[in-house]
Chain A
């Protein structure tokens, strides 16, 4: 079997996001985290529940195993922390504040984005991770324009209603894995993907990163590579989400 591609390393890093989650709903909002969630379920997280993003819970082969329309999600799942959402981010700062609303001033934006969607509720109600397919200074900015998903500093300022279930887990990118265990819950570089240096990540991050204890992102094992290539994504769509 040929060596793992960057996209396949990212899939496994996304699968690792769900390690230890148990029987909760995984809500990955992009392809690579979705393959990662299914890989986690097929290997080390067999109880993980997979949503189709609309109304069904599916097994890894796409068979329906539950009915969960979004009103049920809002009533039953989100307010009880029974979910791990992996969102994208147009901007993300060192405290984990995320912007998916607008670039520039909200009333007169330079770039109108798709909107805050579930981010305000997700981030204060259940575990949240981020997936950034192109790690760069446009995304990793010193300050975001419109806080849509809540970071650690803003959660602390807002008090108990925000901090009670606030649980920013990790950020996976095409270059690295990061978490929020730096000083004052700021972003820390956890690991760099094979072929990526710490300097590469620092250069493409627009704020100071804690790089005191960086390891290498683990490679997919033989069984994981087989599952990714033959079962979960035989068409190779993952390679279009991340540059090789």
Chain B
């Protein structure tokens, strides 16, 4: 009869993770806001030079690794388009770094509280509310793609490169860092698309309610 004592607590443990905690809900939406700001401004910054290189240096005078079939906001970039977009780099860079700080601080708060509260242990490190593929994806995004996009972003900073040269050279150089930053961003956008599709597939209203109010899904 030991089972009858044990089962209720097990039910309580497995039932609670499907309810999103306040920290998860708040950091989820803050991250969403930051990510959209970073994506929009990232594209604006990219449009001033939609060409990618490998190594330390590269310009319109060098052969690119690849170029994107996009118009540019600079007349100096040969794109094949007969027009030049408006320069949006000033505010885009301001907002990109502001949103990056907000995302980093939000992420730190999420990770620290996730460790302390057992959120990772309960929900992501073992079979709980999510299946193996979901758990690997979430862990990969949280502990793989996000740190990598921050690292490659910082590696483009000339001041950070002066203080931590190894953080740049290990990536292959500052242009390599920019190229990796782009690919990691593409992976994050892919994750976002799949994530939103999954929310639709599993019931948009109930999933949104779950992430907004914390109600049981």
- A, B assembled together: no
Which residues from chain B sit less than 8 Å from chain A, CB to CB?
none
